[in-house]
Amino acid sequence: MTNLFHYSKASDKGVDEVVEALRGALAERKFGVLWQLDMTQTLQGKGFDFKQPYRILEVCNPFEANGVLTQNPLVGYFLPCKIVVYEDEGKTQIGLPLPTLLIDMVGDDKLRETAERIEATLKSAVDDAAKDE
């Protein structure tokens, strides 16, 4: 589903399975996972009774990151790209904020094409990770 802020897909796979599928789908597209936050574990460690499985992945393609940061350092405010994987109402949700929307916020029209390419790549990786095999 695409709305004004994000793109998301639902899967019948579990959160761990989706995260692993997403890692593979991203690697095929020359994106790597730089960091992963297990929000459930973090909040429980701080004493909160948060039970919803929820992961936040920060992903990057170094070639693309170099290009956009060289052109406009403000892009670093929302790099690396984030993809979330969480359980909601019996389904695993995978989603990301739209790079085109984020790039529009810095007002640099020259980067729009790059944002469109990155957005299409990340959507494709999400779609592949969501597929039931």
- Indicate if the alpha-carbon torsion angle 112, 26, 83, 35 is positive or negative: negative
In a domain, 93, yes or no: yes
Instruction: Indicate whether this model's pTM tops 0.85.
Output: yes
**What whole-number distance in Å separates Cα of residue 133 and Cα of residue 128?**
10
Residue 47 sits in a domain whose CATH number is 3.30.310.70
Q: What is the DSSP letter of 61?
A: -
Q: What is the pLDDT of residues 12-70, one digit of tens each?
A: 999 999 999 999 999 999 999 999 999 999 999 999 999 999 999 999 999 999 999 99
In a domain, 87, yes or no: yes
In a domain, 51, yes or no: yes
User: By residue range, what is the domain housing residue 86?
Assistant: 6-130
In a domain, 1, yes or no: no
**What whole-number distance in Å separates Cα of residue 103 and Cα of residue 80?**
13
7 in Cβ contact with 118 (< 8 Å): no
Report the domain count for the chain.
Answer: 1
In a domain, 100, yes or no: yes
